[in-house]
Chains A and B, each alone.
Chain A
Amino acid sequence: RKEVEQDPGPFNVPEGATVAFNCTYSNSASQSFFWYRQDCRKEPKLLMSVYSSGNEDGRFTAQLNRASQYISLLIRDSKLSDSATYLCVANFFSGGYNKLIFGAGTRLAVHP
């Protein structure tokens, strides 16, 4: 089983749609979680952290369910510029070393 699993997609949605991505992680000792965005042929960029209480940043909402080891990202009112691959990430901190375990990503294509 992969340490972080995501549906690869692609998710093809029209502008203005709401889309949700899910992710599961296998290591119950994971301590913090992130969503990164990666545009084609570019480096990943931090989109937002994910907190147990859920957090929102504009049109983006992230949620964490530690009991189910499940992370989600909700994008409301999709824009063309949201088209990218979204990487779910679980952090595992041990021995002074901050290890990020990346999912393979979920591809989103927003069309007019």
Chain B
Amino acid sequence: SQTIHQWPATLVQPVGSPLSLECTVEGTSNPNLYWYRQAAGRGLQLLFYSVGIGQISSEVPQNLSASRPQDRQFILSSKKLLLSDSGFYLCAWSGTGGQPQHFGDGTRLSIL
């Protein structure tokens, strides 16, 4: 069966510091991969999606970037974090053809 791993679970970072969040998927090949952010008490905002290695699409302009160096690895990065980057970051995968997405456990990021 497929599993998705995301780490770390929680992270506290100072403003201006860099960020790297990693997500890996097991048990499937060539998944679609997604990064979402959820602010406290709010809905999910799609940040990036990828349909293949090196193929990244951004949904909203922001202080973040994403990379997909391997088929089942998706990385969310920032060179300099802002206070507004705080939130709950979720990685998800899906197959193709309109299948539902499945989420990792999420990373709770606090910026001080």
Task: List the one stretch of A15-23, A52-60, A71-79, A94-102 in contact with chain B.
Answer: A94-102
Which B residues form the contact surface with A (CB < 8 A)?
32, 42-44, 46, 49, 51, 57, 88, 90, 94-106, 108
Minimum Cβ distance to chain A for residue B22 (Å): 16
Q: A97-B57, A102-B43 are in contact. Are A32 and B32 (CB under 8 A)?
A: no
Task: State the total of A-B contacts with C-beta under 8 angstroms.
Answer: 51
Instruction: State A34–B97 Cα separation when bound (angstroms).
Output: 14
How many chain A residues sit at the interface, stated as a range, is 20 to 34
Q: Which secondary structure characterizes the binding site on chain A? A: strand
Instruction: State A93–B51 Cα separation when bound (angstroms).
Output: 12
Q: A96-B51, A98-B94 are in contact. Are A46 and B57 (CB under 8 A)?
A: no
Instruction: State A34–B94 Cα separation when bound (angstroms).
Output: 14
Q: Which residues of A contact B32 (CB under 8 A)?
A: 97-98
Minimum Cβ distance to chain B for residue A102 (Å): 4
